[in-house]
Amino acid sequence: MKKIEAIIKPFKIDEVKAELQNIGVTGMTITEVRGFGRQKGHKEIYRGAEYEVDLIPKIKVEVAVSTDMVRDVVDAIIRTAKTGKIGDGKIFITSLEEVIRIRTGESGNEAV
Amino acid sequence: MMAIMHYGDNMYGPKDPASGFDLAKDIADRADSTIGSLHNARSCPAPERNWCIAALGGYGRQELCPFSDLDILVLVRPRTPASRIEAILAEVIYPLWDKGLDASYSVRTIRQCIFDAKKDFFLKTSLIDARYICGDQSLFEELARSFQRGINTHGLRRFIRQHKAHTLLRNKRYGDCAFGLEPDIKNSRGGLRDYHVMMWIYRLSKEIPDHRGLIDPVDMDCIQDAADFLLKIRIHLHLLTEKKTDTLRPEHIDRLKEMLGFNGTGRQDLIKTYREKALSLHMLCDTYLSFIADRFDQPFKRHRRSKDEFLDLTNGFINIKKPECLAASPLIVMEVFMHMAEKDLMLSPSALSSIKGFVSSDDTLERSMPARSMFLDVLKSDHPEKALVAMLSTGIIEKVIPEFSRIKGLSIFDVLHTHTVDFHSIRTIGMLRGLKGSMHEIFSRVKDLDTLHLGAFLHDIGKGSGMNHSIRGSQIIRMIAPWFGLDAERTDRLVFLVRNHLLLSRIALKRDLTEEKVIHDLARAITDTEMLDMLYLISAADSMATGEGEWNEWKASLLKELYIKLSHTLENNMFKDQGNASRLEENWQGLIDHAVRHTDIKGRLWALPQSYILSSSIEAIKRHLTLAALLDKTCTVKTDLVERKGHHTLTVIAKDRPGLFAMITGVLALSPHSTKMG
């Protein structure tokens, strides 16, 4: 089982969510986050003064899936979240030691 | 946990017309008879001379709900043997637990009661309501006398001060009854606790000759009436959920309506009635508590004679000197609220009373333009919220804006909102006032403050109509605006504001802000920087006023990014020139038609800068796009050379890479021709 964390642009969330559900992902956690990458934010000029934006709003999507779904999920996220412009985000994949559904006590692939 | 009584017991039926107090007394009577029978069944029937049982708190007041706990005092004489006490407890108190009743008890002598009450605020309040149940009655009467002896002005003053402190804490924790979407009937502001506080103060003050007139009996009636309704709701809520539930939730409402015989369609009438009563209770308790506390805190304050002929503005409270003049000069009422809002004053209980009396008999305010202008002044003032709540509870807002009654007490149950729409509108104005400080630069640029504040206050007036509330709201606003003296142009702007009050938030969250076209289309719709400023301020204020989690750094930065981009675009005034705007439209249309036939270039269209589209001919753009389509790994640069009127135009099309522009300019600089770059 793997945990896939994706940092994406805020306006992409509806598309990403829909596509993930399409390919069979049944649950996800969404958080509003702020951060920056290699560009370290950007500078805007406002009324003649530079105004630095260093913590840019993004959305973090977290899903837990069985290992055989990882490829499909990653492709789906890239497919829908990419704009080709700076700030599209990143995907992180980690191994999950265990997953348990609280209500039923199921674990492992049944719980994912 | 057992109920003291059950729904369906022979005393009850659905649609019972009995008052809340009657029902509560029934329940208390049942508890009394349970204890009474236990008492009579005791094994040792010797006459009791040394102890008695008394009910305290809610039980003492005979205001019980089916799952209320029983607060019991076992009063004993000093030096009563422990074995005696044990016997009493075992035979009268413990069996209550066996029956499943939630009984809590304490064993005290009279002296201990008085002593402990001095230190324990809650014990003191529960003792005020003490009531004899069984045992040695003369012992109970001794307690009552001792307690009474302790009541004096000093004690009352301290009591009130302690209450004020506790009430503040409680309000922080439990929120609003009148305006909250899931009110705690007992502990919320405007809930039963407030009523209890008023009752205690009323009862205590009656014992002190100087303070008999502290609470006006008419207001007391009003308070009783509201409390009765709340109590009735609470009792039925307990019955409905079969446990001690004090929080009114949406899922309870339909069943409650049935139980209470509310015949109206939709849930709203039960809720509306509830809110009306809670609001009235809230207003009265707030006003009285502040007024009384103030009067006791500083009894020797110097009274400044105010110069105003009709109003007395001393010590932070407004009094109406001659209430009988209100009928002849109705604008005095509006002046009262203006003073409240400008100087952060509170209404005195008598002023509140006079205004309520005036509103019920007056019909001139509805047609008064000066009244509306004064209302606008309240909206724009430094301390608008308290004044607006007072105006809401006395019915003044509906006089000035009849349409407001549509959203009075209206609850919209969704994840975001925590308050009713009327209160949300008032909060929005409060937040807007806060933005005057935190978004000072933008706020100070807005010239048309009337439109701004009307837009903020009435942005949700279309809610509850069943259709899109922005659209409905803008329709209503179109009717209302002229009453406030707005001419046709300003009316249009106000209508636009209300129609689009969610626009900036929506775009900031849902669209790619780096897409120039998104920004440009929006800028075209918004037309000028003042409108943008107003929309931005209202978006922020609305979001802040919606609920705890709705406004945060995350959302704020997205909204700000959108604002800055729009601001740039509008300031560049690309659209001020009508010719530009229409030429841009034409060019876009031509390109779109072309793209329909040549789908390979369609994807690239939206990324093109507006200024490029504006300044180039359609032919040139088509050529450039076709050339761009030919770029690939091997062929990384394409050029297009056009000669016209003695000069050449060279367009270089290449994939972006670091230093590209420098390279091109460098090459051209080396050439013998003179060049002008664009």
Range of the domain at B604: 587-629
pLDDT of residue B299: 59
Structure tokens, B596: 């329909």
Q: Are B229 and B270 in contact (CB under 8 A)?
A: no
Residues B29 and B109 in one domain: yes
Distance CA B405, CA B601 (A): 55
In this model, does residue A81 exceed pLDDT 90? yes
Local structure of residue B89 (DSSP, 8 states):
I
Task: Compute the nearest-CA separation of A53 from chain B (Å).
Answer: 9
Partners of residue B510 in chain A, C-beta under 8 Å: 11, 14
Task: Compute the nearest-CA separation of A12 from chain B (Å).
Answer: 7
Distance CA B373, CA B371 (A): 5
Q: Is B566 exposed, middle or buried (0-12, 13-18, 19+ CB in 10 A)?
A: buried
Is B557 touching A (CB cutoff 8 A)?
A: yes
Distance CA B87, CA B272 (A): 52
Report phi then psi at A24, rounded to 5.
110, 10
Strands (E), B476-614: none
Is residue B195 one of the residues assigned to a domain? yes
Tell me the one-letter amino acid at B390: A
Nearest chain A residue to B571 by CA distance is A47
Of B98, B115, B150, at which residue does a domain stop? B150
Look at chain B and report how many structural domains it folds into: 5
Q: How many CB pairs under 8 A join A and B?
A: 36
Asked if B554 and A57 come within 8 Å (Cβ–Cβ), the reply is yes
Partners of residue B561 in chain A, C-beta under 8 Å: 44, 53
Non-local CB neighbours of B647 within 8 Å, separated by 6+ positions: none
Q: Of chain A residues 26-55, which have a CB less than 8 A from chain B?
A: 32-34, 44-46, 51, 53, 55
Distance CA B664, CA B176 (A): 67
CB-CB: which of B554, B561, B568 is closest to A32?
A: B554
Q: Of chain B residues 2-31, which have a CB less than 8 A from chain A?
A: none
Cα dist from A11 to A86, B324, B513, B543, B568, whole Å: 14, 61, 9, 18, 22
What is the CB-side half-sphere exposure of residue B639 using CA atoms within 13 A? 6
Which stretches of chain B drop beneath a pLDDT of 70?
1-17, 43-48, 263-268, 297-307, 415, 548, 573-581, 598-607, 632-634, 673-678
Write down the domain spans for chain A: 2-110
| Start-to-end Cα distance in chain A | 8
Distance CA B65, CA B75 (A): 25
Partners of residue B513 in chain A, C-beta under 8 Å: 11
Is residue B359 one of the residues assigned to a domain? no
Residues B233 and B118 in one domain: no
Beta strand A49-53 pairing with A42-46: antiparallel
Structure tokens, B539: 């978006």
Asked if A11 and B557 come within 8 Å (Cβ–Cβ), the reply is no
Task: Compute the nearest-CA separation of B573 from chain A (Å).
Answer: 14
Tell me the one-letter amino acid at B166: H
Cα dist from B264 to B18, B249, B257, B267, B422, whole Å: 20, 19, 9, 8, 21
pLDDT of residue B8: 42
Task: Compute the nearest-CA separation of A109 from chain B (Å).
Answer: 32
Task: Compute the nearest-CA separation of A44 from chain B (Å).
Answer: 8
Is A9 touching B (CB cutoff 8 A)?
A: yes
pLDDT of residue B629: 73
Is B517 touching A (CB cutoff 8 A)?
A: no
Percentages (nearest 5) of helix, strand, coil residues in chain A: 30, 40, 35
pLDDT of residue B151: 77
Residues B617 and B505 in one domain: no
Q: Which CATH number fits domain A2-110: 3.90.79.10, 3.40.50.11720, 3.30.70.120, 3.40.50.720?
A: 3.30.70.120
Task: Compute the nearest-CA separation of A57 from chain B (Å).
Answer: 6
Is A108 touching B (CB cutoff 8 A)?
A: no
Partners of residue B558 in chain A, C-beta under 8 Å: 10, 57
Structure tokens, B536: 């931005």
Is residue B315 one of the residues assigned to a domain? no
Asked if B514 and A85 come within 8 Å (Cβ–Cβ), the reply is yes
| Start-to-end Cα distance in chain B | 83
Task: Compute the nearest-CA separation of A10 from chain B (Å).
Answer: 6
Residues B163 and B282 in one domain: yes
**What pLDDT band is residue A89 in, cutting at 50, 70 and 90?**
very high
What CATH number should be reported for the domain holding residue B563? 1.10.3210
- Name residue B643's beta-bridge partners: B648
Partners of residue A11 in chain B, C-beta under 8 Å: 509-513
Nearest chain B residue to A58 by CA distance is B554
| Placement of tokens 């789908």 in the chain | B599
Asked if A11 and B512 come within 8 Å (Cβ–Cβ), the reply is yes
Partners of residue A32 in chain B, C-beta under 8 Å: 552, 554-555
Task: Compute the nearest-CA separation of B606 from chain A (Å).
Answer: 12
Is B504 touching A (CB cutoff 8 A)?
A: no
Residues B145 and B225 in one domain: no
Residue of A46, A50, A56 best to disrupt the B interface, most CBs of B under 10 A: A46
Residues B300 and B178 in one domain: yes
Task: Compute the nearest-CA separation of A101 from chain B (Å).
Answer: 25
Asked if B553 and A46 come within 8 Å (Cβ–Cβ), the reply is no
Nearest chain B residue to A47 by CA distance is B568
DSSP-assigned letters across all residues of B549-589: TTS-HHHHHHHHHHHHHHHHHHHTTTTTSHHHHHHHHHHHH
Q: Are B183 and B278 in contact (CB under 8 A)?
A: yes
Task: Compute the nearest-CA separation of B658 from chain A (Å).
Answer: 14
Q: Residues, chain B, total? A: 678
Residues B226 and B257 in one domain: yes
Distance CA B445, CA B441 (A): 7
Task: Compute the nearest-CA separation of B564 from chain A (Å).
Answer: 7
Asked if B561 and A53 come within 8 Å (Cβ–Cβ), the reply is yes
Residues B135 and B188 in one domain: no
Partners of residue B514 in chain A, C-beta under 8 Å: 83, 85, 87
Question: What pLDDT, in 10s, does the model give residues B255-275?
Answer: 888 888 776 655 567 888 888
The residue among B29, B105, B45, B117 whose CA lies nearest residue B74 is: B105
| Placement of tokens 């899922």 in the chain | B251
Assessment of whether the complete model's pTM goes beyond 0.80? no
Distance CA B256, CA B15 (A): 10
pLDDT of residue B598: 67
3-state secondary structure B165-223: HHHHHHHHHHCECCCECCCECCCCECCHHHHHHHHHHHHHHHHCHHHCCCCCHHHHHHH
Distance CA B586, CA B575 (A): 14
Residue of A16, A31, A32 best to disrupt the B interface, most CBs of B under 10 A: A32
The residue among B378, B403, B571 whose CA lies nearest residue B498 is: B403
What is the CB-side half-sphere exposure of residue B235 using CA atoms within 13 A? 30
Q: Of chain B residues 534-553, which have a CB less than 8 A from chain A?
A: 552-553
What is the CB-side half-sphere exposure of residue B521 using CA atoms within 13 A? 13
Non-local CB neighbours of B581 within 8 Å, separated by 6+ positions: B524, B574, B575
Question: What pLDDT, in 10s, does the model give residues B297-355?
Answer: 665 555 555 667 788 887 788 988 888 888 888 899 999 999 999 999 999 998 998 99
- Alpha-helical segments (H) within B120-152: 121-128, 137-149
CB-CB: which of B509, B564, B567 is closest to A11?
A: B509
Residues B224 and B297 in one domain: yes
The answer to whether the Cα torsion of B235, B241, B245, B251 is positive or negative is negative
Cα dist from B199 to A85, B294, B377, B518, whole Å: 67, 18, 37, 61
CB-CB: which of A44, A46, A57 is closest to B558?
A: A57
Q: Are B241 and B252 in contact (CB under 8 A)?
A: yes
Is B509 touching A (CB cutoff 8 A)?
A: yes
Beta strand B103-108 pairing with B70-76: parallel
Asked if A83 and B512 come within 8 Å (Cβ–Cβ), the reply is yes
Partners of residue B554 in chain A, C-beta under 8 Å: 32-34, 57
Non-local CB neighbours of B448 within 8 Å, separated by 6+ positions: B490, B493, B530, B534
Residues B203 and B122 in one domain: no
CB-CB: which of A11, A56, A57 is closest to B510?
A: A11
pLDDT of residue B634: 67
Q: Are B442 and B533 in contact (CB under 8 A)?
A: yes
pLDDT of residue B46: 59
Non-local CB neighbours of B235 within 8 Å, separated by 6+ positions: B20, B23, B24, B27, B65, B66
Distance CA B568, CA B574 (A): 10
The angle at the Cα of B206, spanning B200 to B209, to the nearest 5 degrees, equals 145
Partners of residue A83 in chain B, C-beta under 8 Å: 512, 514
Non-local CB neighbours of B215 within 8 Å, separated by 6+ positions: B198, B201, B202, B205, B288, B292, B349
Local structure of residue A108 (DSSP, 8 states):
G
Q: Dihedral, CA atoms, B527, B529, B534, B540, nearest 10 degrees?
A: 110
Is residue B326 one of the residues assigned to a domain? no
pLDDT of residue B10: 44
What CATH number should be reported for the domain holding residue B43? 3.30.460
Cα–chain center distance at A31: 9
